[in-house]
Amino acid sequence: MEYDRLLIAYNKLITIISRQQGNHHHPLTLLYNFLTHSLNLFGIRFAFYCNFDFQQVISMKKIFTSIIIFLLLSFSVKATHQRAAEITYKHLYDLTYKFTITMYTKTSSPADDSRNYMPINWGDGTGDEIERVYFNPIPDVYDISLNIYEGTHTFPGPSKYTVSVEDPNRNFGVLNIPNSVNVPMYVQTELLINPFLGFNTSVVLLNPPIDQGCVGKTFIHNAGAYDSDGDSLSYKLVVCKGAGGYDIPGYSYPTATNFFKMDSITGDLIWETPTLQAEYNVAFDIEEWRYGIKISTVRRDMQIEIVACDHDPPAIYSIDDTCVVAGDFLQFDVTAIDPDGSNVELSAFGGPFVQSQNPAYIDPDPAGGNDTVTTKFNWPTLCTHVRLEPYTTIFKARDNGFPVNLVNFKTVFIKVIAPAPENLIAEPLGTGINLNWEKSTCNNAVGYHIYRRSGPSGWDPDYCETGVPGYTGFKIIEEIDDINTLEFRDDNNGEGLAHGIDYCYRVIAVFYDQAESYASNEACAYLKRDVPIITHVSNDSMDLFSGSVITVWSKPIELDTIQYPGPYRYLLYRNDGIIWSNIGDLIATFNSLDDTIYVDNDVNLNTHTGPYSYRVDIENLIVKPIGSSQEASSVFIRTEPTDHEVKLLWVPKVPWENEYAVIYRKDPGSTTFDSVGSTEFGFYRDKGLTNYKEYCYYIKTVGHYSLPGLIDPLVNYSQLLCATPIDNVPPCKPELEVYTNCEQITNELGMYLPYDSCNYDAVKYYIYHLPPGAQESELIDSIAYTHNDTTYYLHEDLSSVVGCYYVTAKDSVGNISERSDIVCVDYEECPIYELPNVFTPNGDGKNQLFTPLGSRSGNPKANVSRIDITIMNRWGKTMYTTTNPEINWDGKNQNNNQDCPVGVYYYVCDVYIITLAGEVKSTLQGPITIIR
- What would the pLDDT profile of 851-882 be if each residue is shown by its tens digit? 998 665 568 889 999 999 999 998 999 999 99
User: Is-contact 237 281, C-beta < 8 A?
Assistant: no
- Interacting residues of 393 by C-beta distance below 8 A, sequence separation 6+: 348, 350, 351, 352, 353, 360, 377, 411, 412, 413, 414
pLDDT in tens, 542-577: 999 999 999 999 999 999 888 888 899 999 999 999
Is 18's pLDDT higher than 60?
Answer: no
CA 141 to chain centre: 37
Give the mean pLDDT of 826-844. Answer: 90
Say how far apart CA 779 and CA 767 lie, in whole Å: 6
Say how far apart CA 422 and CA 385 lie, in whole Å: 20
pLDDT score at 75: 37
| pLDDT band, very low/low/confident/very high, at 915 (cuts 50, 70, 90) | very high
pLDDT in tens, 878-902: 999 999 999 999 999 999 999 999 9
pLDDT score at 759: 74
Range of weakest confidence among 297-306, 548-557, 919-928: 919-928
pLDDT in tens, 311-330: 999 999 999 999 999 999 99
Rounded to 10 degrees, what is the CA torsion of 774, 780, 785, 789? Answer: -50
pLDDT in tens, 152-183: 999 999 999 999 999 988 999 999 999 999 99
3-class SS of residue 31: helix
pLDDT in tens, 679-713: 999 999 999 999 999 999 999 999 999 999 999 99
Say how far apart CA 94 and CA 73 lie, in whole Å: 42
Say how far apart CA 71 and CA 79 lie, in whole Å: 13
pLDDT score at 508: 98
String of DSSP letters for 618-672: EEETTTEEEEEPPPEE-B-EEEEEETTEEEEEE----SSEEEEEEEEEE-TT-SS
Mean pLDDT, all residues of the chain: 89
pLDDT score at 789: 87
pLDDT score at 788: 78
| pLDDT band, very low/low/confident/very high, at 42 (cuts 50, 70, 90) | very low
pLDDT score at 761: 86
Give the mean pLDDT of 735-746. Answer: 94
Helix 54-75 crosses helix 43-50 at what angle (to 10 degrees)? 110
pLDDT score at 113: 75
Tell me the CA end-to-end span of the chain in Å, nearest whole number.
Answer: 35
| pLDDT band, very low/low/confident/very high, at 757 (cuts 50, 70, 90) | low
Is 429's pLDDT higher than 70?
Answer: yes
Is 4's pLDDT higher than 80?
Answer: no
Say how far apart CA 368 and CA 345 lie, in whole Å: 4
Q: State the pairing for strand pair 568-576/549-554.
A: unpaired
What is Dmax (Cα atoms) for the chain? 137
User: Is-contact 916 775, C-beta < 8 A?
Assistant: no
Helix 27-38 crosses helix 2-19 at what angle (to 10 degrees)? 120
Burial of 187 (0-12, 13-18, 19+ CB in 10 A): buried
pLDDT score at 445: 97
pLDDT score at 495: 87
Say how far apart CA 210 and CA 145 lie, in whole Å: 11
Is 25's pLDDT higher than 50?
Answer: no
What's the sign of the alpha-carbon dihedral 674, 677, 683, 689?
negative
Helix (H) or strand (E) holding 161: strand 160-167
Range of weakest confidence among 251-255, 279-283, 345-349, 829-833: 829-833
Rg over alpha carbons for the chain, rounded to the nearest Å, is 40
pLDDT score at 141: 78
Q: Measure Cα distances from 777 to 293, 737, 801 in Å.
A: 33, 17, 15
Q: What percent of the chain stands above pLDDT 70?
A: 91
pLDDT in tens, 784-827: 998 878 999 999 999 999 999 999 999 988 999 999 999 999 99
| pLDDT band, very low/low/confident/very high, at 19 (cuts 50, 70, 90) | very low
CA 423 to chain centre: 42
pLDDT score at 834: 87
Give the mean pLDDT of 772-780. Answer: 92
pLDDT score at 712: 94
Give the mean pLDDT of 426-454. Answer: 96
CA angle 379, 380, 383 (to 5 degrees): 115
pLDDT in tens, 468-518: 999 999 999 999 999 999 999 999 999 899 999 999 999 999 999 999 999
Higher pLDDT, 22 or 424: 424
Entry pTM: 0.67
